[in-house]
Amino acid sequence: MIALINNEYKIDLSKPVDISIPLTNNEQNPIAWYQNLPEIEPVKMGDWIGKVSEGKSSTNFNNIFFNPHAHGTHTECLGHITRDFYSINQCLKQFFFTAELISVEPKAIGEDLVITKEQIEIVLGENSPEAIIIRTLPNPENKKHLNYSNTNPPYLDEAAAIFIREKGIQHLLIDLPSVDKEHDEGKLLAHKAFWNVKDVNQVNKDARFTCTITEMIYVNEGIQNGSYILNLQFASFENDASPSKPVLYKIEK
């Protein structure tokens, strides 16, 4: 099925490319920020169990306990770092965007691995998409199952985040648990730079309220760098972040 986006970009809706990581309650699930595994368990009320295989229910009826920031692909708004409450469900009202997928090998700086402005600038070139998708190298499949806690993962340099903002890019997607350093004394320099938040206690009027960051995606080796249409799907939680399902569509010639 062919669709036309903005009367300009032709995509085949029968060929989606899902770059999200599914949420599970076993060791296959990625973890960050010192959390335990997600919990997916049937409801229990007295001797009734919400699980068909237990023979006491006609339906499977599970409770799920998870943290969107720690347990998989999620999309967040600037409410992630502000004193006042802002909801991803209110900030993001459009869901299709032009996107550029790039691959970058973070640079060793001291004890850190950092994605720099120069790297983004070179790979992105003259492109100014609405969304940028950063695949870090190397890119083993076990990224989908890592426990990132206390491992000092790679992160985005503040200057790189400023460059992305100044290019007019509205949506930043990355295959890391955070755009910022794991232990950064709460500075959150890349988050603040991307959203143009100058004071988390009183958000400036020119902060980027409709822009988003999506973390913990996975883009496998078979997906080529280049231009796509991004469908940024998420669950309708009134929260600073929601589990999400970014889907790419190759632009048809």
Per-residue pLDDT tens over the stretch 73-87: 999 999 999 999 999
Predicted local distance difference test score (pLDDT) of residue 15 = 96
* Phi, psi at 120, each rounded to 5°: -65, -45
User: How do the domains of the chain map onto residue ranges?
Assistant: 2-21+72-252
- As to burial, measured by CB atoms within 10 angstroms (0-12 exposed, 13-18 middle, 19+ buried), residue 135 is buried
The pLDDT value given to residue 2:
79
The CATH code belonging to domain 2-21+72-252 is: 3.50.30.50
pLDDT in tens, 13-65: 999 999 999 999 999 999 999 999 999 999 999 999 999 999 889 999 999 99
Extract the residue ranges of the chain whose pLDDT is less than 50. Answer: none
Instruction: Decide: pTM greater than 0.75.
Output: yes
pLDDT computed for residue 132 by the predictor: 98
